Chains A and B, each alone.
Chain A
Amino acid sequence: MTTDRLRRAALARRKRSLWIAVLLAPGLIVMGLFVAAPLLSAFRYAFYSFHGLAPADFIGLRNFTEVLTEAPFADWTWRALRHNGVVFAALMVAQNGLAFLIAFVLLKALPGHRLHQVIVFLPVVLSAVIVGFLWKLFLHPLFGLVNAALALVGVQGLPWLGDERTALGAIIFTNAWHWVGFPALIFLAGMQRISKETLEAARIDGAGDWRLMTGIIWPLVAPATTIVFILTFIGSFNWFELPYVMAGLNGSPGGATDVLGLYFYRTAFGNVTSGLQDFGHGSALAVLMFLFIAIVSGLALRVLRRREIQV
């Protein structure tokens, strides 16, 4: 009896695992074919020199040392990395800071907050390509809305996307406009999970908005902050669509908006109007970007998670 039951249980278990395997297989195959395999081949190509488009000789780490230490490639790599860093810092402070404030205001459920919630989130559903194109038009030095508005108050606007000092900032601004609703929503969800009692208790103890926000809410939304931080980090260092649409593959003007995504793309896939396909350097860049993002996000996740536990 018991052995029979055991056997039946084992059979059921095996059936179950088989069933799970069947369900997992399509996903695994797709991932393997379209994610793992290209990744591995990029890893391999990074160690080869190329004869035109065909891999030729194994050259060890030379592609890596060239993009990291030899002019002019190294200048471009570090410049792009620096710009990615600026983008990340600016988005963390401006976009996500603003998102936090917006979430806090929405939490207060003032009249009309539902409409505001929709308005803040609306741009997020647009594609980055459309947003980039729109803002490129708005920022146009001759026909753009922004400079037309400035002219009304007697200010001569800059060619925002053409000026080395403002071009990257203008694209970061566009990113923030496009995306602010997303971190705001994550923060709002985090804030809504804080129990009403906690907030009321703080109020009764005489905490004002500022104290409430910094002393109670900020520590309690730590899980949301972790998610926002990691997503912003990955997004900033993989930044591609917006600068591509707004500044072109070369990161015009003069590389002032060049970021790793653009640099990798034009190196590996070639820029029709100036460059060649350089798979060796391109693969090396891809591998470096992958390692950098994976390692830093892994570390950041550990540190930030620990912060959550402490709370």
Chain B
Amino acid sequence: MTLSDPMLAEVAKLNETSMPYITAVHFRYETPTGSELLQSGVQKMMAGSMTPAEVGASLTQGISRYFKPFQK
């Protein structure tokens, strides 16, 4: 079975240089999920009512509820 579809072959090629979809792969196990924090943070950032640093801080703070390494 080979991928006759050139586009799917393209995707397979792209996967050779891949990294995880971070928030979904690592931070969707407990609430608040990294995903929900990031989604609303980025919406606010793009609307101009939150800075990138604030979005990062809200992710860290929310995730620290259950992710030990962030509880410092």
Any A–B CB pair closer than 8 Å: yes
Binding site for B on A (CB under 8 A): 70-73, 162-164, 250, 252-255, 267, 271, 273-276, 278, 281
Chain B residues near A71 (CB-CB < 8 A):
61-62
B44 touches A253 (CB 8 A): yes
Name the prevailing secondary structure of the B interface residues: helix
Q: What total of A-B pairs shows CB separation below 8 Å?
A: 51
Cα distance A255–B44 in the bound complex, in angstroms: 9
The one of B32, B35, B40, B62 in contact with A255, judged by C-beta atoms closer than 8 angstroms, is B40
Chain B residues with CB below 8 A from A267, complex form:
31
Residues in chain B near residue A253, CB distance under 8 A: 43-44, 47
Report yes or no: B31 in contact with A254, Cβ–Cβ below 8 A. Answer: no
In the complex, the answer to whether A278 meets B40 with C-beta atoms within 8 Å is no
Contact B61 A274 (CB under 8 A): no
B33 touches A276 (CB 8 A): yes
Using a Cβ–Cβ cut-off of 8 Å, how many residues does chain B contribute to the interface with A? 21
Q: With A72-B58, A250-B39, A250-B40 as given contacts, are A274 and B49 in contact (CB-CB < 8 Å)?
A: no
Q: Could you tell me the distance in whole angstroms from the C-beta of A167 to the nearest C-beta in chain B?
A: 10
User: With the chains together, A75 CA to B31 CA distance in Å?
Assistant: 14
- CB contacts (< 8 Å) of A271 on chain B: these are 36
Whether A72 lies near B47 (C-beta < 8 A) is: no
Is residue B28 within 8 Å, beta carbon to beta carbon, of the partner chain? yes
- Asked whether A254 and B41 contact (CB < 8 A) given A271-B36, A276-B28, A276-B30, the answer is yes
Q: Report how far A91 CA is from B40 CA in the complex, Å.
A: 26
A169 to B57, CA, bound (A): 29
The 10 nearest A-B residue pairs measured at CB: A254-B44, A274-B35, A254-B43, A274-B36, A253-B43, A254-B40, A72-B62, A278-B31, A255-B40, A275-B36
B12 within 8 A of A: no
Chain B CB within 10 Å, residue with most, of A73, A253, A278: A253
Shortest C-beta distance, B29 to chain A (Å), equals: 8
Name the residue on A nearest B45 (C-beta): A254
> Which of B29, B49, B61 has the most chain A CB atoms inside 10 A of its CB?
B49
CB-contact partner of B32 in A73, A162, A163, A164, under 8 A: A73
Contact (Cβ within 8 A) B50 A254 = yes
B37: chain A residues within 8 A (beta carbon): 72
Q: 29 A-B residue contacts at CB 8 Å? A: A70-B65, A71-B61, A72-B37, A72-B58, A73-B31, A73-B32, A162-B47, A163-B47, A164-B44, A164-B49, A250-B40, A253-B44, A254-B40, A254-B41, A254-B43, A254-B47, A254-B50, A255-B40, A255-B44, A271-B36, A273-B35, A274-B28, A274-B35, A274-B36, A275-B28, A275-B31, A275-B33, A275-B36, A276-B33
| Inter-chain contact B36/A250, CB cutoff 8 Å | yes
- CB neighbours (8 Å) of B40 from chain A are 250, 254-255
